[in-house]
Amino acid sequence: MVPQQRPFRFIDDIEKVDDKEIRAVYRFREDEYFYEGHFPGYPITPGVILIETMAQAGVVALGIAILLTQGKPVSEIKKMKTLFTFAESVEFTGMVEPGEKVVIYGEKIYFRRGSIKTRAGIARENGESVCTGVLMGTGVNLDV
């Protein structure tokens, strides 16, 4: 139900999700469109893509899971899109190279009136942190 699709979907699998937290994984493919220019000869995943990755799992997918546990009909959820509205305390502590698999996690800080605020992060498979931050999004119905 996550609306983002390739080439701009950065979730391969959701391993755990409930109304409080999420754990997902993604492997940054070597042919991702942004590596050619970031940086030629030494490709690394742009920080804005890492933030988007955290938002897709920690805001969008977790928000959908919360709505489902609240009994919101799937047909109504599918009409909604989560607009990314806020990021703070984002810290990068590592680089993600092409081909690397990462674990994305999010923990709900609050969910109210269609807005979700989460503490999110990305780590390598060995648990080493790559980036963290506090992110927020708001669900809107684009079919109105």
Enumerate the active-site residues.
38
Task: Work out the burial of residue 107: count CB atoms within 10 Å of its CB; fewer than 13 is exposed, 13-18 middle, 19 or more buried.
Answer: middle
| Buried b or exposed e, range 54-84, using 16+ CB within 10 angstroms | bbbbbbbbbbbbbbeeeeeeeeeeeebebee
* C-alpha count within 13 angstroms, C-beta hemisphere, residue 141: 6
